[in-house]
């Protein structure tokens, strides 16, 4: 008999038609994915995919099975949501590109639901979307737009980058991209969407920045800047959650690509009281 795990793997593979991409979305290895697909095909007694050069495509049986697999997975998800709606939530799993996006409101949620265990993860937008889709996260804050039929999203606010230095660091008087390219910078690592926006902005002006420090969070950037000559680039939303007197803060003089942020959760999910209150609190704190 096939398993629900095999159906979920099959469903993702039908969306990507690429073992490497499907394995990345599922956070498993390609051999593990291939093995589960072979087991599913063995149970069904037929091939579900066939090779087309380097690509794969669904067989006739695969296309027929896709319809039934989606119905089964939807029925399971509906059953889970129905039970969860009647059962007090024990855990709230949230993801964002920085804990500052949720931390200002988490205390309020914890006070309202003392039995609740709240888990917050700092992730890239791609990872947030994948984990919300796979129900590893209950909700997240991610950059918009999220063009995925499995995700519901609601606009919260448009973020922007700010330059920060130690209070006694006067090397930067105006935060233009040209001036920033002449000083050592502390920025997010290149796996983050904001870093790619920054890279594109420098490249558009034919500037080569000196990324002295590429770090994993705005908090790390802010801490390093206080004890070095580097200029940090962090989001305005992050600074709203901090004591602004810890740094010199300079708004970027150049216009960068807007950074719209939104609250996301699995499409079709009925927001229980905990998620509903979380969404309302985040909206009230961050909304433009």
User: Are 13 and 153 in the same domain?
Assistant: no
pLDDT of residue 85: 55
Asked if 173 and 142 sit in the same domain, the reply is no
Averaged over successive runs of 10 residues, the pLDDT of the chain (288 residues) comes to 87 89 81 90 92 85 90 78 64 92 92 93 92 93 87 91 94 93 96 92 96 94 94 94 92 88 86 90 83
State the pLDDT at residue 37.
Answer: 92
| Both structure tokens of 218 | 């705005």
Are 25 and 67 contained in the same domain?
A: yes
Same domain, 148 and 264: yes
Check residue 61 and give its pLDDT: 93
In a shared domain, residues 194 and 274: no
Give me the pLDDT at residue 80, please. 66
Among 27, 59, 85, identify where a domain stops: 85
Q: What's the pLDDT at 87?
A: 58
Query: What's the confidence (pLDDT) of residue 22?
Result: 86
Domain span at residue 30? 4-85
Residues 264 and 251 in one domain: no
Residue 238 pLDDT: 93
- Residue 120: CB atoms within 10 A of its CB come to 18
pLDDT of residue 288: 57
Asked whether residue 177 falls in the same domain as residue 244, the answer is yes
- Separation between Cα atoms, residue 128 and residue 187, nearest integer Å: 20
Q: What whole-number distance in Å separates Cα of residue 42 and Cα of residue 261?
A: 44
For the domain that residue 10 is a member of, what is the CATH number? 1.10.10.10
Domain count, the chain: 3
Task: Provide the CATH number for the domain around residue 141.
Answer: 3.40.190.10
* Model pLDDT for residues 212-230, shown as the tens digit of each residue: 999 999 999 999 999 999 9
Do 94 and 233 lie in one domain? The reply is: no
What letters, b where the CB count within 10 A reaches 16 and e where it falls short, cover 34-69?
A: eebbeebbeeeeeebbeeeeeebebeeebeebbeeb
d(CA 189, CA 27): 21
Looking at the chain, list the stretches that DSSP marks H as alpha helix, in order from N- to C-terminal side.
Answer: 4-16, 19-26, 30-44, 60-86, 103-112, 125-133, 177-180, 193-204, 218-226, 236-240, 273-286
pLDDT at 95: 96
DSSP state of 45: T
pTM of the model: 0.67
Tokens of 288: 């433009």
């Amino acid at each position: 008999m096939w398993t629900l795990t095999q159906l979920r793997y099959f469903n993702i593979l039908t969306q990507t038609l690429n073992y490497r991409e499907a394995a990345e979305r599922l956070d498993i290895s390609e051999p593990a994915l291939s093995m589960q697909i072979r087991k599913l095909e063995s149970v069904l007694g037929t091939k579900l995919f066939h090779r087309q050069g380097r690509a794969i495509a669904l067989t006739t049986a695969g296309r027929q099975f896709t319809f039934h697999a989606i119905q089964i997975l939807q029925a399971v998800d509906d059953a889970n949501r129905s039970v969860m709606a009647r059962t007090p939530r024990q855990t709230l799993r949230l993801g964002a590109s920085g804990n500052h996006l949720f931390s200002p409101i988490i205390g309020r949620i914890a006070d309202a639901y003392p039995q609740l265990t709240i888990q917050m993860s700092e992730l890239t937008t791609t990872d947030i979307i994948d984990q919300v889709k796979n129900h590893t996260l209950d909700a997240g804050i991610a950059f918009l737009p999220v063009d995925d039929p499995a995700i519901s999203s609601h606009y919260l606010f448009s973020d922007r980058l700010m330059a920060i230095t130690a209070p006694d660091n006067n090397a930067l008087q105006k935060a233009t991209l040209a001036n920033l390219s002449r000083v050592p910078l502390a920025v997010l690592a290149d796996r983050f969407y904001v870093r790619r926006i920054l890279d594109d902005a420098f490249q558009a002006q034919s500037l080569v920045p000196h990324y002295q420090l590429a770090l994993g969070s705005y908090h790390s950037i802010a801490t390093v800047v206080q004890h070095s000559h580097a200029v940090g680039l962090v989001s305005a939303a992050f600074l709203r959650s901090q004591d602004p007197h810890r740094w010199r803060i300079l708004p970027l003089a150049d216009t960068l690509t807007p950074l719209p942020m939104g609250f996301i959760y699995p499409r079709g999910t009925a927001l229980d009281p905990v998620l509903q209150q979380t969404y309302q609190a985040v909206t009230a704190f961050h909304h433009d």
